[in-house]
């Protein structure tokens, strides 16, 4: 296959995306495929060999067979680039426009999962405009979540902009930090359970990996714990009961299908004994060979080059299937 690997992007996860894209490219080459790099600059320009790309509807992309958008965060993982790739009429790895947009919005995702009866920690969405106009009313509502709570931008990943609030006096600063990135913040009740993650791979009949447990060498699993050397440890399989492990896999697959995801996702949980709580579903998680998504599949015997190859194959199959329904 000839694969275009997209990296960079307009979000604050630009550098993380470049690392993911480099690993994907190397994995494809190791698997015997040809890969070309396309960088999306911080200002949104698409660049190939340092020159801007001209994109035209239905014209494909540089003659490639499939595109691997190793992009994280807004303007990459939220349906924007997926919509562009649909317009180009080129197969691409990962979820489509609707599922990408849904899962990037932590508040809407949790509302949908809650409506379907998925167990979750308590949460509230807070819009900056309302916080500025009615801070006392918002603070009173958030007090119902108890303390501590975690405050995050609603549309970012990689733990960017996350704060742990231990007392009422810290709430305003945490919300201000989140609003630097996003006009919508999510405030979540803390869980004392183990942080467990499960990788999902597939399309119409997805499969779940063995769950792994995250042990952060910090107070909580923040950006530094995720990306700095020695910041975290992944234990596979997770040190949870067999019944909880089965629940994690079942809920991961259920959330994947309910969200309409495709190709891949990393689904995050808190496990409190026998109680399993769904946290997030990431449609394009970190994708280096040492990232949790790939490491979980490696533990199940699926090597990185074969993983990226299978994702490209899924993209080709989905594209061919969906084209049969187009007018």
Instruction: Considering the candidates 77, 182, 222, 268, report the single residue annotated as catalytic.
Output: 268
pLDDT tens-digit series, residues 36-75:
999 999 999 999 999 999 999 999 999 999 999 999 988 9
User: pLDDT at position 232, please?
Assistant: 81
Please tell me the distance from the alpha carbon of residue 294 to that of residue 297, in angstroms, as a whole number: 5
Residues 296-308, buried b or exposed e (16+ Cβ, 10 A)? bbbeeebebbebb
Phi, psi of 153 (to 5 degrees): -65, 140
Angle, helices 14-30 vs 304-323, to 10°: value is 100
Active-site position among 31, 286, 309, 310: 286
**pLDDT for the residue 13:** 87
The strand pairing partners of 48, in sequence order, are 51
pLDDT of 169: 95
Q: Is the pLDDT of residue 163 over 70?
A: yes
**pLDDT of residue 144 exceeding 90:** yes
> Of residues 225 and 49, which shows the higher confidence score?
49
Is 13 an active-site residue? yes
Q: What is the pTM of this model?
A: 0.92
The residue from 83, 170, 227, 272 that is catalytic is 227
Mean pLDDT of the chain: 94
What tens digit of pLDDT does each residue of 183-193 get? 999 999 999 99
> What is the CATH topology of the domain spanning 2-93?
Rossmann fold (3.40.50)
Per the structure block, which two tokens stand in for 41? 């600059």
Sketch the domain layout of the chain as residue ranges. Answer: 2-93, 102-119+192-283, 123-189
Q: What angle do CA 8, 56, 74 make, to 5 degrees?
A: 30
Judged by DSSP in three states, 92 sits in strand
Residue 217 confidence (pLDDT) = 66
* 282 annotated active-site: yes
Q: Which of 11, 23, 158, 279 is catalytic?
A: 158
Give the CATH number of domain 102-119+192-283.
3.30.470.20
Q: Pick the catalytic residue: 13, 195, 309, 310?
A: 13
| Residue 50: how many other CB atoms lie within 10 Å | 6
Q: Is 20 a catalytic residue?
A: no
Q: Is 227 a catalytic residue?
A: yes
From 282, 304, 310, 318, the catalytic residue: 282
User: What DSSP designation does 114 have?
Assistant: H
12 vs 179: which has the higher pLDDT:
179
Residue 158 has pLDDT above 90, yes or no: no
Nearest alpha carbon to residue 259 among 153, 111, 81: 111
To the query of whether residue 27 is one of the catalytic residues in this protein, the response is: no
Beta bridge partners of residue 187, listed in sequence order = 124, 151
Query: What whole-number distance in Å separates Cα of residue 79 and Cα of residue 319?
Result: 16
Q: Which of 280, 291, 304, 318 is catalytic?
A: 280
The third-level CATH classification (topology) of the domain covering 123-189 is: Dna Ligase; domain 1 (3.30.1490)
The answer to whether residue 76 is catalytic is no
């Amino acid at each position: 296959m000839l694969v275009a690997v997209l990296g960079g992007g307009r979000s604050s996860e630009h550098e993380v995306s470049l690392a993911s894209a480099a690993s994907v490219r190397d994995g494809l080459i190791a698997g015997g495929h040809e890969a070309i790099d396309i960088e999306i600059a911080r200002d949104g320009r698409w660049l190939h060999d340092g020159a801007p790309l001209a994109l035209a509807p239905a014209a494909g992309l540089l003659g490639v067979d499939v595109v691997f958008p190793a992009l994280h965060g807004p303007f990459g993982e939220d349906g924007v680039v997926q919509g562009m790739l649909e317009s180009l009429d080129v197969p691409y790895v990962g979820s489509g426009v609707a599922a990408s947009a849904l899962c990037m919005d932590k508040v809407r995702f949790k509302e949908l999962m809650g409506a379907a009866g998925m167990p979750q920690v308590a949460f509230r969405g807070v819009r900056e405009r309302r916080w500025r106009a009615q801070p006392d009313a918002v603070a009173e509502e958030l007090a119902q979540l108890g303390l501590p709570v975690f405050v995050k931008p609603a549309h970012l990943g990689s733990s960017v902009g996350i704060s742990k609030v231990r007392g009422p006096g810290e709430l305003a600063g945490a919300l201000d930090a989140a609003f630097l990135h996003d006009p919508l913040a999510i405030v979540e009740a803390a869980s004392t359970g183990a942080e467990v993650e499960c990788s999902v791979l597939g399309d119409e009949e997805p499969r779940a990996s063995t769950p792994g447990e995250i042990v952060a060498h910090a107070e909580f699993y923040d950006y530094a714990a995720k990306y700095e050397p020695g910041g975290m440890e992944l234990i596979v399989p997770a040190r949870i009961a067999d019944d909880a492990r089965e629940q994690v896999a079942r809920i991961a697959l259920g959330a994947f299908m309910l969200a309409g995801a495709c190709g891949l996702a990393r689904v995050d949980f808190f496990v409190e004994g026998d109680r399993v709580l769904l946290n997030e579903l990431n449609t394009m998680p970190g994708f280096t060979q040492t990232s949790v998504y790939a490491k979980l599949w490696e533990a199940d015997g699926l090597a990185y080059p074969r993983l990226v190859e299978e994702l490209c194959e899924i993209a080709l199959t989905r594209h061919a299937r969906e084209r049969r329904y187009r007018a």
